[in-house]
Amino acid sequence: MTEKAPQNFRLWQPHNFRVIVSYKPPSGFQGFPVETDPYPHPHRGSFPVEVKGTDKCCDCTISNNGKQYNFKGYRGCTIQIFKTKAVIINNSHVKMWRVIKNSKLGEADPEIKEVVDDMDAYAVHVFRLFVEQFGGATDFKIINRRTENGFKGDPVTDGMPKDQVINSLNFKKVYDDHIEFKSTQAMENFIHNRTIDKVAPELALRLQHIDRQVSGVLAIQGNYAKTVIPVQLDLAKNMETHVAVMQDIHTALSILNVNLAKKRKGFIYQLFHKYIRR
């Protein structure tokens, strides 16, 4: 039965989810104890390898002329060992479809991030157990992440002809009922753009309302400029003239005070000499 996404929801299927970490295998690494190695040289067959702490085994293959070890089924993951790195493919989710809400802009981001963080954490946890069993050096920090992302439930993608095949930079369509984004970022960008499409009419109305308000303010400012500002300019000119007059009066009074002081000094001098002569 094909899953259908509820209104305002999308369905997301992350698969082939793989993280890459720096890793230096131990010297002489064979992926399993040498004494139990049934194939001491690179080969094309697969053989079981015990998963420590469990009663299960994983299938191991050696490829790339002995430079790559593949441990399939190691605690729900496939672990690929190279010379300087390890790739942990998280298969524990078994291609389950997940619901993504898309009713508000940005609402899908934390949902997607929560799933990615959980899958990251499980992959790193399994790799820690792998290193405990086989050794090697690593800081367990994720340096890259890749995943394919099945996606459906959007009218744009669901409306594509079923027999149409597309392989673009960000997504591909090779299935009848869904497409695959080549990264979670590409999927998030698509969801954001589709959400903006939905809220665009409401945004347009709000922008029109703001435009009317701004126009009203500008009209008031225009009337203010036509009526009040000229009056203020006339007042400023009158004040400028008034200040000039007051400065002239101040200068005249200063000169008068100087002259009076001189006359007062001369009068006192004459009076002094008058009384001296007596």
**Within-domain flag for 265:** no
**What pLDDT, in 10s, does the model give residues 93-122?**
777 888 887 656 666 788 888 999 999 999
State the sign of the Cα–Cα–Cα–Cα dihedral 233, 235, 240, 241: positive
| Range of the structural domain that residue 118 is part of | 9-182
Q: Strand ranges (DSSP E) for 75-183?
A: 77-81, 85-90, 98-101, 142-152, 166-167, 171-173, 179-181
Asked whether 13 and 149 are in contact (CB, 8 A), the reply is yes
**Within-domain flag for 73:** yes
Between the CA atoms of 114, 116, 118 and 123, what dihedral angle is there, to the nearest 10 degrees? Answer: -170
**Within-domain flag for 270:** no
User: What gap in Å lies between CA 77 and CA 211, rounded to an integer?
Assistant: 57
**Within-domain flag for 41:** yes
Closest CA to 128 of 185, 197, 77, 195: 77
**What pLDDT, in 10s, does the model give residues 141-181?**
999 999 999 999 888 888 888 888 888 888 888 888 898 99
What is the mean pLDDT of the segment spanning 250-275? 58
Question: How many residues are present in the chain?
Answer: 278
State how many domains the chain has: 1
Closest CA to 6 of 98, 94, 93, 95: 98
User: What gap in Å lies between CA 17 and CA 58, rounded to an integer?
Assistant: 19
Closest CA to 12 of 23, 21, 24, 3: 3
Give the number of other Cβ atoms within 10 Å of residue 267's Cβ: 10
**Within-domain flag for 116:** yes
Beta bridge partners of 173: 166
Q: Supply the pLDDT for residue 153.
A: 86
**Within-domain flag for 235:** no
- Per mean pLDDT, which of 50-64, 97-111, 185-199, 214-228 is the most reliable? 50-64
**What pLDDT, in 10s, does the model give residues 21-58?**
999 988 766 554 444 444 444 445 677 888 888 888 88
Task: Using the structure block, give the residue that is written with the tokens 């920090």.
Answer: 141
Beta bridge partners of 24: 137
Tell whether the model's pLDDT for residue 263 goes beyond 70. no
Q: What is the pTM of this model?
A: 0.64
**Within-domain flag for 147:** yes
**Within-domain flag for 126:** yes
